[in-house]
Amino acid sequence: MPDKRCFSKKAVITGLSNDIRITDRKRRPLEKVFYGIIWLLAAGVLAMTMYFIAVILIRGLPAISWSFLTTAPHPIKDTFGILPSIVNTLYIIAGTLVISVPVGVGGAIYLNEYAKNRRLVRAIEFTTETLAGIPSILYGVFGYVAFCLLLKINVSLWSGILTLTIMVLPIMIRTSQEALKAVPVSYREGALGLGSAKWYMIRTILLPASLKGILTGIILSVGRMVSESAALILVAGMNSTKLPAGLSSKGSTLSVELFFQAYSRGEDRIAFGIAVVLLVIVITLNLLTRFIAGKLSKNS
């Protein structure tokens, strides 16, 4: 006679499976509620974004013309063009990226792979997170005092590039560092175990594996560069009447010109036209950055 306290393996498994099913039935309605809330919030964000883009296109596209994009403002002829502002914007974006990407990614690599003093690393991480939340007008005041007055660079595109570099470095360092931390440790150990030098491992394995996260930091930085106006008014100036002679000349970007047209002159039609151009530039730069990152990933 088998002991009544003994249960067959099949009975135990059946009992456990029944318990799991009962638990699932109890949890499933609540999970559906939470999933429904998440999907509702996501749909709301998507709807707001589409509405935002639609309003900009509907109100801004009528202002777009060939002369609007390829000429400078002419007060005598009473015409308006944004070509100088477009060139100033591209100058500042390109100059800031040339400086901030190597410094930001390099700093993240050092903090994550080479720095030994963990207290110092934590202090730097806390500092960069704090700097990322500082209002942009404070960066503008600092840039004006440091670059325009102390270094005698004066109000110019150069001052704007250096100020924006300081502004976006915290974002780029932290996002790049988190992307590097997300790479599994086994990747590093496997490469080093096969005799690879540390820098070779970083260049051929770590950076390609973390490229998407680094790319996210670059895209966020570009978005902040394009949208910045308060700081650039102080350090880069508001000259939009002629093409810049170089980085040492003053010049207003598209965001500064949008602010000036919307709030100083009340030209909503022109302001929405500039917003359309800004939207196109941001989307184009994001697609170009992703294309370059895809090519680099394939080559590596």
Q: Is the CB of residue 239 less than 8 Å from the CB of residue 249?
A: yes
Please check the confidence at residue 24 and state whether its pLDDT lies above 70.
no
| Mean pLDDT, range 181-209, rounded to an integer | 86
The number of beta carbons lying within 10 Å of the beta carbon of residue 162 is 21
Q: Which of 42-46, 51-55, 212-216 has the lowest mean pLDDT?
A: 212-216
Task: For residues 73 and 70, give the distance between their C-alpha atoms in angstroms, rounded to a whole number.
Answer: 10
Task: For residues 236 and 250, give the distance between their C-alpha atoms in angstroms, rounded to a whole number.
Answer: 6
Q: How far is the CA of 253 from the CAs of 26, 161, 226, 256, in angstroms?
A: 57, 12, 8, 5
Query: Of the spans 13-17, 35-39, 247-251, 262-266, which averages the highest pLDDT?
Result: 35-39
Long-range Cβ contacts of 18-27 (<8 Å, 24+ apart): none
Cα end-to-end span (Å), the chain: 69
Please check the confidence at residue 4 and state whether its pLDDT lies above 50.
no
| Mean pLDDT, range 139-166, rounded to an integer | 91
The number of beta carbons lying within 10 Å of the beta carbon of residue 268 is 13
> Of residues 177 and 297, which shows the higher confidence score?
177
| Mean pLDDT, range 213-241, rounded to an integer | 85
Please check the confidence at residue 200 and state whether its pLDDT lies above 50.
yes
pLDDT at 11: 47
- Positive or negative, the CA dihedral 203, 204, 207, 212 is positive
Quick: pLDDT tens for 47-93.
999 999 999 999 999 988 888 888 888 766 667 888 888 999 999 99
| Mean pLDDT, range 254-282, rounded to an integer | 86
| Mean pLDDT, range 7-21, rounded to an integer | 47
Please check the confidence at residue 108 and state whether its pLDDT lies above 80.
yes
> Of residues 26 and 275, which shows the higher confidence score?
275
pTM of the model: 0.80
| Mean pLDDT, range 8-14, rounded to an integer | 47
| Mean pLDDT, range 170-194, rounded to an integer | 87
Please check the confidence at residue 223 and state whether its pLDDT lies above 90.
no
The domain ranges of the chain are 9-63, 66-299
Quick: pLDDT tens for 122-135.
888 888 888 888 88
> Of residues 77 and 34, which shows the higher confidence score?
34
Tell me which fold the domain 66-299 belongs to.
MetI-like fold (1.10.3720)
Q: Which of 110-114, 253-257, 283-287, 292-296 has the lowest mean pLDDT?
A: 292-296
